[in-house]
Structure 1
Amino acid sequence: MDDILIVDDDVENRQVMRSILKDSPYQNFSIWEADTAEKGLTLLKNKQPVVLLTDLSLPDMDGIEFGKKALQSHPNTHVVVVTHLQMFQTVQASINAGFSAYLLKPIVKSELIQTFKRLITAQQLHQTAPILKNQKGSSEKALEADLGNPIETAMNYIKLKYHEPITLKEVANFVYLSPSHFSRMFKEETGVTFVEFLADYRLEKSKNLLKMTSLPIEVIASHTGFSSAAYFSTTFKRKEGQTPSEYRSMLSNLTKWPDRG
């Protein structure tokens, strides 16, 4: 669930964190607050937040122990310490407890947002791992070159390896053809160049991920074989007439369109 839990007995600190998050890419997340560990554990059970922000100086329990209890019952929640304490022993204890981040008060907006970006991306990757695995297929699967059908073999090669760096020469070598002859054959049989076919296939896979997940654009670019998010966005817009973000927004708006019968 897209929930955030803040546990801190200082009202002002809770308000600062809430204000930062509400003015960030995570503004649509539900934010819950508690001023004691006991209340925090109840909210953890009921809301199962993706991130728990906790002070270490709670009135009814040591913050390290509270974080440990949180992880024992909710191992998929990221525990982030937010504290004035700068002692090395405390930082080490937090690391040993399996906490995800250690931030010092007063909170710096950029540090909090960067921490959330890292943790939410990790969470999304975990949740969408089955989709990514299905998208990629099995890279370990053996593919034998059918020399009687070299272009069909080449297309199967692309479908199996599209998420990796692929060159025309590499595929031509796989089907035992010279790059120039392979390039001509590919265009004659498919109607498009090797580069166009590869880009189109990667784009189709990226569109599935944009539709089915909330993964960041740079993560989708990486998982579909593009060398960078910028190159992915440029290629996507040239082909689709809109950026990946615009495409995702369009899909989101379509799903919210009222049913007019």
Structure 2
Amino acid sequence: MKNRLTVLIVDDEPRTRQGLAKTLEGWAEGRFDIFSAENGDEALELAAERPIHLLLTDIRMPEMNGLELIRAIKERGSDPVAVLLSGYSEFDYAQEGIRLGVVNYLLKPVTRAKLLEAVEQALQIIEERRRRGAIEKIVDLELAGIKEEDRLVPQPVQDAIRFIEDNVRAPLTLREVAEHVHLNPSYFSSLFKEKTGMTFSQFVARSKLQAAKKLLYSTGLPVGEIAEQVGYQTAKYFITLFKEYEGMTPSQYRRSLSEDADT
């Protein structure tokens, strides 16, 4: 299933491993895919087959300890949120775990309450990572850079930018925006390009496409409807423009966001 999280429990003690899995399976009620492994090698085989989102691993295991397992998984391109388990209070291990990005450290025997508290905290971190990843793909850095330098931009250009953002769903024209900021269209066009580094049409297109990307991420609206919502009368033109700026069609972009959420 798309966007399902994978939880991997790694512990060489069968009773502990099975107990943790049973607790999480009962709590999760089928929301997550939960796997178990008795050692690092078995865990790496599972990690090669699917992305691991949450890793709960014992520190002390034969041949490959928990910290070595985390490093090995990271070296293979995955970055699971990790929780360490240990039967001892091992400060040095905990310190190294912090350096590896471990988010929690649980002493055995782990109570149900402590386990679920740690897992829920880890799930919040996973969700925040996904949200940040999506935002990074949606935000147009050049548009954001112009807004950050707002104080260096003349007031008429600032007003024009805000007018464009407020009316991103309308089929804006240069003359309309120039009139709104009380400037001659020719002068406004030159001033806008000089102060933003983009032509008026480029800025409008990128603003509309950023709005479209937000809709592609946050809704299931058809591409044609999204095109209308950002001010384009035909889906064909919108798709052509989107591909020109983003290097992929809107549908491909939406799939890429979904695929990112699965990794």
Q: Is 1:61 equivalent to 2:57 in the alignment?
A: no
**Distance in 2 (alpha carbons) for counterparts of 1:51 and 1:93:** 18
Question: Residues of 2 paired with 1:71 and 1:96: CA distance?
Answer: 13
Q: Which residue of structure 1 lines up, in the alignment, with residue 117 of structure 2? A: 111
Distance apart, 1:28 and its partner CA: 2.1
State the partner residue of 1:5.
Answer: 8
Consecutive unaligned residues of structure 2, counting only runs of 5 or more, are 169-180, 182-211, 221-263
In structure 1, C-alpha distance between the alignment counterparts of 2:54 and 2:130, rounded to whole Å: 13
Question: Following TM superposition, where does structure 1 have runs of at least 4 consecutive aligned residues deviating by more than 6 angstroms?
Answer: 204-207
Letter in 2 for 1:48: P
Tell me the SS of whatever aligns to 1:4. Answer: strand
Mapping of 1:247-258 within 5 angstroms?
Answer: none
User: Secondary structure of 2:16's partner?
Assistant: helix
Contact 1:48 1:74 in 2 (8 A): no
**Is the contact between residue 58 and residue 65 of structure 2 (CA under 8 Å) also seen in structure 1?**
no
- What is aligned with 1:31? 34
Q: Secondary structure at the residue paired with 1:139?
A: helix
**Number of paired residues?**
169
- Which structure would you say has the larger RCO, counting Cα contacts within 8 Å and 6 or more residues apart? 2
Q: Matches of 2:31 and 2:94 in 1, distance apart?
A: 30
- CA distance in 2: counterparts of 1:157 and 1:6, whole angstroms: 47
SS in structure 2 opposite 1:42?
Answer: helix
Q: Is the 8 A contact 1:21 1:27 kept in 2?
A: no
Percent identity of paired positions between Structure 1 and Structure 2: 20
1:129 aligned residue (130, 135, 156): 135
Seen in structure 2, the aligned counterparts of structure 1 residues 39 and 205 have a Cα distance that, compared at 3 Å, is closer
Distance 1:36 1:154 in 2: 57
Contact kept, 8 Å, 1:145 with 1:153, in 2: the verdict is: no
Q: CA deviation at 1:132?
A: 4.0
Q: Could you tell me how far 1:101 is from its partner in structure 2? A: 2.9
Query: Which residue of structure 2 lines up, in the alignment, with residue 189 of structure 1?
Result: none
Instruction: Give the deviation of 1:54 after TM superposition.
Output: 0.7
Summarize the Cα distance change of 1:19–1:144 in structure 2 as closer, same or farther, 3 Å threshold.
farther
TM-score (norm 1): 0.51
Which residue is 1:40 aligned to? Answer: 43
CA RMSD of aligned residues (A): 3.7
Question: 1:168: which partner in 2?
Answer: none
- Please state how far the C-alpha of 1:45 moved relative to its aligned partner: 1.2
**C-alpha contact 1:54 1:63 (8 A) present in aligned 2:** yes
Decide which structure has greater helix share.
2
Deviation at 1:118, TM superposition (A): 2.8
Task: Kindly provide the amino acid, as one letter, of the partner of residue 164 in structure 2.
Answer: N
Given that 2:138 and 2:214 are in contact with CA atoms closer than 8 Å, whether structure 1 keeps it comes out as no
Query: 2:81, 2:122 within 8 Å by CA — same for their partners in 1?
Result: no
Return the alpha-carbon distance in structure 2 between the equivalents of residues 118 and 47 of structure 1: 21
Taking the aligned partners of 1:25 and 1:11, their CA distance within structure 2 comes to 21
Match of residue 164, structure 2, among 143, 153, 156: 156
Partner in structure 1 of residue 219 of structure 2: 211
Q: CA deviation at 1:33?
A: 1.1
Q: 1:115 to 1:123 in 2, by over 3 A?
A: same
* 2:18 corresponding residue in structure 1: 15
Contact 1:81/1:101 (<8 A) preserved? yes
| 1:133-166 C-alpha deviation (Å, 9 max, x unpaired) | 25x983322565449xx6x765435579xxxxxx
CA contact (8 A) 1:24 1:113 kept: no
Instruction: Give deviations 1:209-253, integer Å, cap 9, x for gaps.
Output: 5437xxxxxxxxxxxxxxxxxxxxxxxxxxxxxxxxxxxxxxxxx
Show structure 1 runs of 5+ residues with no match. 161-174, 176-203, 213-261
What is the CA distance between 1:77 and its match in structure 2?
A: 2.2
Secondary structure in 1 aligned to 2:125? helix
In structure 1, what is the equivalent of residue 99 of structure 2?
A: 96
